[in-house]
Structure 1
Amino acid sequence: MRVLLLATLVNAFGNGAYLTTSVLFLTTVAGLSPATIAIGLSAGAAAGVLAMTPLGYLADRYGPRRLSILAMVVLAGAYTALLGVHSAVPFTLLSCVIAVATALAKGANGALAAGAVPATERLRMRARMRSLTNAGMGIGTLAGSGPLLIQGHAGYVVILLANALTFLAAALLLTRAPQVPPQVTPAGGPRLVALRDRAFLSFAALDGLLTSTYNDLLGLGLPLWLATRAHAPLWLISVALVINTAGCVLLQVRMAGGVSGLAAARRSALRGSLVVALSCAVIAAGSDRSPLLAGTLIGLAAVIHVLGEVWLSTGSWGIVFELAPPWAQGQYQGAYFAGRGLGDMVAPPLVTACVLGLHGYGWLLLGLLFAGGGLLYGPVTRWAAATRPTVPAEEAPRPDQPMVTVPPGQGD
């Protein structure tokens, strides 16, 4: 699966570079207002959430490699088409196309990672993908900072086109990835079984809220905190984000090594939630302290936060892989990412309200959210395991074998 990992790295590099300059491109080159950008991105986010599970089903039905390649090609074309956008309606439509294609890529790549390696290696494979995603995003962010120094329209356009090229490069790489054969829904069962699995949807909503919130703690909550309440320099934001990125790159695969089975994944998610809760309490302790003490506590909180993030994300993936039927990995991955999408809608206003409205007590409230949410992983995943969709034994693939077919000429 080195091909899939390399495609992940290339794609993450392009995304990181584009995200650095995206707002400036849209406002200066495309000439869009902030309100237009916000409306278009919100419409796209809603379209992506609605499309996640059905597109995951298509990845199962027609093979995730084929659908992943299709998604990459569509994304390359959609980002290139942004060069011709100068008004609200075309931007909103393209935002929806990008969001839907991204949803397809997430579901297809998840199914490809699940089906192309043995069940015992799925979690480590997913951890490697996330580690490389963080590394690629970090390197891409540095590359995208060049146009920010020049502040020229041409630089923003170059970054946009470079991002589109990385999608094409990823699609080309994926043509050499192993094929996971199309999966057939068992006779008599619903096609979109994930949408009927209330227990799994409850897990996806819970995990989506916690995951989106811990992502916003450092990217949104900490900057607001430093700007309004903490007596510490703003450059600590960069320090915290560097600690987070480096920790995810260096620790993700190592931390995934000891997690096997649903019980272990559940414990990892609980441990991660409690550790993230501790990081919130440490940040709260820095309220109205001296700059040195506040800065020390924020640095300590960033280290604690990344440990909790790695444990929590590892547990989440393990739970998804364990609960999804072998013939529905794509749509269950889609339902999981739909939960993330809903969390992305809730987390920003939640974190902002807590940090700006409640100050230090807001951080403690966020900590209680993680502690309480972590404790819910146990009953929710036990419920999901007890109501897991089943398939006749003669129709199910062996769990210890990867569902891979190798195209002729690629066996070596």
Structure 2
Amino acid sequence: MRVLLLASLINAFGNGAYLTTSVLFLTTVAGLSPATIALGLSAGAAAGVLAMAPLGYVADRYGPKRLLLLAMMVLAGAYTALLAVHSAAPFTLLSCVIAVATALAKGANGALAAGAVPAADRLRMRARLRTMTNAGMGLGTVAGSVPLLAHTDTAYVVILLLNAATFLAATALLTRAPAVAPQTTPAGGPRLVALRDRPFLAFAALDGLLSSTYNDLLGIGLPLWLASGAHAPLWLISAALVINTAGCVLLQVRMTDGVHGLPAARRYAVRGTVVIALACAIFASTAGRSPWVAGTLIAVAAVTHVLGELWLSTASWGIVFELAPSWAQGQYQGTYFAGRGLGDMVAPPLVTACVLGLHAGGWLLLGLFFAVGGLLYGPVTRWAARTRPAPAPATA
């Protein structure tokens, strides 16, 4: 467990540093246009979504540890290869390689985490992994801000190589992780069972859309709102993100207490969506307020938002672990992340249209969206529970 957590922390640190400077590296060092960057990243996102479930199956079939090590080494090489990119075609190709390798890493990491600990500890393990990821991303973001002050090509190249080095360091650590035995698909059944599991696909789509949207409330919705609708300083964006990161690091593991079984996870999902809907209403109430009042309300909304996020993310992991067969954790994790990928395509234009087009009414509409979406967790998870195979009877 300590090996997996430390590897996640190191890798997230590199990712956070690179994400802070990636656009400037690609535009100033690689010399790519914003349109080329957007096209390449979109192609990579599509490739990653399509590869999620099949690569999760591969991780189950050949062992998640082996596939995770392979994915991490490919990612180290692909990020290093960005140094040689100066045109659209190579960048698009590398974006697809990075996205597909990331898809394999996510599915394999989920299967490794699920198989390395007893079933009763999976949820807490997943929460600890997210805590380490958030902590690493936060520290990496701070480190990535240093090159922004220097604003030189050398500084951006150093951050890129640092990111590649963290993949290699995490790979070296993961060689010490416990191996999870390869899984065999039951005879007579489909190989990609997750893609035939209609209630799970419905859950993945619902949860992916809601999860991506709550992430974009602070990353996209709040900056647009402060720039166009609320009379409050722009530094509140950073304050809200700090509140979010601190809440995830300090409270994520604690939020797993009491989540045992599908009914408890369902209740957490509904609670989380209702609380996020309340945060949207608080954001809407800042319209026309004085800067001090608006700033106070935004801080309250950020705290409310992170509590809802923690409940909803905990519920999501619990539902995935409950619905996935023990021999198909990798492909179910991959299918779940594919739902997140589809949500990432829909959420940005949805949040932008609501905040810029409808202003305070748009925040209220987003709140309604979360409230209604939360109510759907009940019928979707009950449908999924009815379609699970009955447990084998105990033998004397």
Tell me the residue number matched to 1:111.
111
CA deviation profile, 1:352-378 (whole Å, cap 9, x unmatched): 000000000000000011101111001
Opposite residue 331 of structure 2, the aligned amino acid is Q
Opposite residue 347 of structure 2, the aligned amino acid is A
* Secondary structure of the corresponding residue to residue 273 of structure 1: helix
1:165 pairs with 2:138: no
CA deviation profile, 1:311-366 (whole Å, cap 9, x unmatched): 00000000000000000000000000000000000000000000000000000000
CA deviation profile, 1:194-214 (whole Å, cap 9, x unmatched): 000010000000000000000
8 Å Cα contact 1:186-1:391 kept in structure 2? no
* Secondary structure of the corresponding residue to residue 271 of structure 2: helix
Tell me the residue number matched to 2:86.
86
Unaligned runs of 5+ in 2: none
* Secondary structure of the corresponding residue to residue 188 of structure 1: coil
Tell me the distance in 2 between the aligned counterparts of 1:379 and 1:89: 45
Aligned-pair Cα RMSD in Å: 1.0
Cα 1:170–1:29, aligned 2, differ >3 Å: closer, same or farther? same
8 Å Cα contact 1:325-1:389 kept in structure 2? no
* Secondary structure of the corresponding residue to residue 96 of structure 2: helix
Q: TM-score when scaled to structure 2? A: 0.98
Q: CA deviation at 1:183?
A: 0.4
Tell me the distance in 2 between the aligned counterparts of 1:113 and 1:245: 22
Opposite residue 291 of structure 2, the aligned amino acid is P
* Secondary structure of the corresponding residue to residue 189 of structure 1: coil
Unaligned runs of 5+ in 1: 395-412
Q: CA deviation at 1:290?
A: 1.0
CA deviation profile, 1:182-241 (whole Å, cap 9, x unmatched): 000000000000000010000000000000000000011000000001000000000000
8 Å Cα contact 1:354-1:365 kept in structure 2? yes
Q: CA deviation at 1:388?
A: 2.3
Tell me the distance in 2 between the aligned counterparts of 1:196 and 1:35: 37
Opposite residue 124 of structure 2, the aligned amino acid is R
Tell me the residue number matched to 1:400.
none
Tell me the distance in 2 between the aligned counterparts of 1:27 and 1:255: 41
* Secondary structure of the corresponding residue to residue 287 of structure 2: coil
Q: TM-score when scaled to structure 1? A: 0.95
8 Å Cα contact 1:248-1:310 kept in structure 2? yes
Tell me the residue number matched to 2:335.
335
Tell me the residue number matched to 1:122.
122
Tell me the distance in 2 between the aligned counterparts of 1:32 and 1:172: 33
Tell me the distance in 2 between the aligned counterparts of 1:47 and 1:179: 28
Tell me the residue number matched to 2:51.
51
CA deviation profile, 1:277-323 (whole Å, cap 9, x unmatched): 00000000111111111111100000000000000000000000000
Q: CA deviation at 1:105?
A: 0.4
1:200 pairs with 2:200: yes
Tell me the residue number matched to 1:301.
301
Tell me the distance in 2 between the aligned counterparts of 1:321 and 1:332: 9
* Secondary structure of the corresponding residue to residue 253 of structure 2: helix
CA deviation profile, 1:16-37 (whole Å, cap 9, x unmatched): 0000000000000000000000
Tell me the residue number matched to 1:401.
none
- Give the % identical residues: 81
Runs of 4+ in 1 over 2 A off after TM superposition: 388-394
Q: CA deviation at 1:391?
A: 8.5
Opposite residue 163 of structure 1, the aligned amino acid is N
Tell me the distance in 2 between the aligned counterparts of 1:16 and 1:85: 21
Tell me the residue number matched to 1:131.
131
